[in-house]
Amino acid sequence: MANYTFGEIDNVKEGDSFSDRKALREAGIHLALVAGIDGNQSVGASSIVLNGGYVDDLDLGSEIIYTGQGGNDANTKRQVADQKWTLGNKALLVSEMSGLPVRLTRGFNHKSEFSPKSGYVYGGLYRVTDHFEEKGKDGYTICRFRLEKINSFENSLQIGKPAVPELFTTSERVATTVLRIIRDTKLSKRVKELYDYKCQVCGIQISVKGIKYAEGAHIKPLGNPHKGEDKLGNLLCLCPNHHVMFDKGVFTIHPSEYSLIGIGGELTFDHKKHVLDQENLKYHQEHIFINH
């Protein structure tokens, strides 16, 4: 059993170059010589390599949409089969749940403005913030992960410093076991008031001295690559637990019958004032709901 180290490695800093995978291994950054995901299903993933092995990869610098492993033809680098939520993909899921950082190394084979021309460059620490399923460019199901760079702001949250006030105007960063972004727009306030801050799944209302708390949950997620809209038909009023369960794909909502799939109970909602977008529900069922 290999001993995986999480976080920064002594004597290696962001931007350091390595000639090949063997050098990366010797530095202690990434142990596997071929596989792009280091780690296992019990401790999670400690490191990944982004090197053009999968055509659907997207590198935006501080945000990466990474393709999981499997179903890939070693010679053509194209998908020839569906991927599954096993092996390294499961390790990345474990990392998403634990919130432990994942080292990122970029290789010369991936073409982006952040990739090196030759060899491998250590790119710092990232957190797995999201996972979903997609049909890749080659027509097969791929497991995908959103990784977000851990910056000084997020590190400051880790040691309990208060968040920067101006960020509260559009979004509120909340440190939980897994870092999430809870947007508190006028719309999400509206959906909460519509249900009097009661969770549409379990009915619980969180209230302290009459001050109520609930979360506005987007059905089709905002941000890349989903690009869901911030509109009432794309929002639910949920308690924190059911918000996490919904976002992580534990349950979904039937696009036309509005029944709950994956957990018991039924969704309460105001058919007149709150028209749920069926396309977005379909999107959630196909891409986010993986508990099948």
Partner DNA sequence: GGGCCCGCAGGG
Partner DNA sequence: CCCTGCGGGCCC
Point out which residues bind DNA (CB under 7 A): 1-2, 4, 20-22, 31-37, 39-42, 49-54, 57, 66-67, 69-72, 74-76, 87-88, 90-91, 107, 109-110
CB of 116 to DNA, least distance (A): 12
Query: Which of 74/211 has CB closer to DNA?
Result: 74
Query: Which of 54/283 has CB closer to DNA?
Result: 54
Which residue in this structure is represented by tokens 């390790």? 91
Query: Which of 54/251 has CB closer to DNA?
Result: 54
Long-range contacts of 273-277 (CB under 8 A, 24+ apart): 273/194, 274/191, 274/194, 274/232, 274/233, 275/232, 275/233, 276/219, 276/233, 276/236, 277/219, 277/220, 277/231, 277/233, 277/234
Distance, in Å, from the CA atom of 252 to the CA atom of 79, rounded to the nearest integer, reads 28
CB of 104 to DNA, least distance (A): 11
Dmax (CA) of the chain = 63
CB of 247 to DNA, least distance (A): 22
Query: Which of 41/205 has CB closer to DNA?
Result: 41
Please count the other Cβ atoms lying within 10 Å of the Cβ belonging to residue 110: 17
CB of 107 to DNA, least distance (A): 5
Query: Which of 103/192 has CB closer to DNA?
Result: 103
Distance, in Å, from the CA atom of 258 to the CA atom of 268, rounded to the nearest integer, reads 9
Query: Which of 71/240 has CB closer to DNA?
Result: 71
The continuous run of DSSP H or E covering 134 comes out as strand 120-135
CB of 6 to DNA, least distance (A): 13
Distance, in Å, from the CA atom of 292 to the CA atom of 285, rounded to the nearest integer, reads 10
Query: Which of 35/267 has CB closer to DNA?
Result: 35
Q: What is the dihedral of CA 130, 133, 137, 138, to 10 degrees?
A: 140
Query: Which of 71/255 has CB closer to DNA?
Result: 71
CB of 40 to DNA, least distance (A): 4
Residue type, 102: V
Question: Any residues with CB less than 8 A from the CB of 227 and at least 6 apart, and which?
Answer: none
CB of 24 to DNA, least distance (A): 8
Tokens of 222: 């905002």
Tokens of 156: 């400051």
CB of 53 to DNA, least distance (A): 2
Nearest in space to 71 (alpha carbons), one of 155, 166, 135, 119: 135
